[in-house]
């Protein structure tokens, strides 16, 4: 059974700091996704990582994928309050997305 684990599940940090969210998954998969969700809202696609060694960056967020280690990271650089949200990773098993539990990120001014 494919399992996806995120850590930490909760993260409170100050503006301007850097931090990393980790996403481990239990069986082979070639596609990993990062989504953002604001309270009561839908899921916004951040990154689609399709191959080993893939690295994508958008603004203060950078995601990477190591398929051999079955690990993806989402790195936040110089955090700002607007990045406060819950971040989910999900792994593609055929057409089913298997989701982590989410990391609730609070960035304090």
Partner 1 sequence: NAGVMQNPRHLVRRRGQEARLRCSPMKGHSHVYWYRQLPEEGLKFMVYLQKENIIDESGMPKERFSAEFPKEGPSILRIQQVVRGDSAAYFCASSLVPTGIYGYTFGSGTRLTVV
- How far apart CA 75 and CA 58 sit, in angstroms, is 11
44 CB neighbour count, 10 Å cutoff: 11
Closest to partner 1 by CB, 64 vs 103, is 103
Range 6-45, binding partner 1 (CB under 8 A)? 31, 33, 35, 40-43, 45
Interacting residue with partner 1 among 24, 66, 75, 102 (CB under 8 A): 102
Residue from 11, 13, 48, 106 that binds partner 1 (CB under 8 A)? 48
Which segment (13-21, 58-66, 73-81, 95-103) binds partner 1 by CB under 8 A?
95-103
Return the HEC string of 28-84: CCCCEEEEEECCCCCEEEEEEECCCCCEEEECCEEEEEECCCCEEEEEECCCCHHHC
Residues in contact with partner 1 by CB under 8 A are 4, 31, 33, 35, 40-43, 45, 48, 50, 88, 90, 92, 94-102
């Amino acid at each position: 059974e494919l399992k996806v684990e995120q850590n930490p599940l909760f993260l409170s940090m100050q503006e301007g700091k850097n931090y990393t969210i980790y996403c481990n998954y239990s069986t082979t998969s070639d596609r990993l996704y990062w989504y953002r969700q604001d309270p009561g809202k839908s899921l916004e696609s951040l990154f689609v990582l399709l191959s080993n060694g893939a690295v994508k960056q958008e603004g203060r967020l950078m995601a990477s994928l190591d398929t051999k280690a079955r690990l993806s990271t989402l790195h936040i650089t110089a955090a700002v309050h607007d990045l406060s949200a819950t971040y989910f990773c999900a792994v593609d098993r055929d057409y089913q997305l298997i989701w982590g539990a989410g990391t609730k990120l609070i960035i304090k001014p």
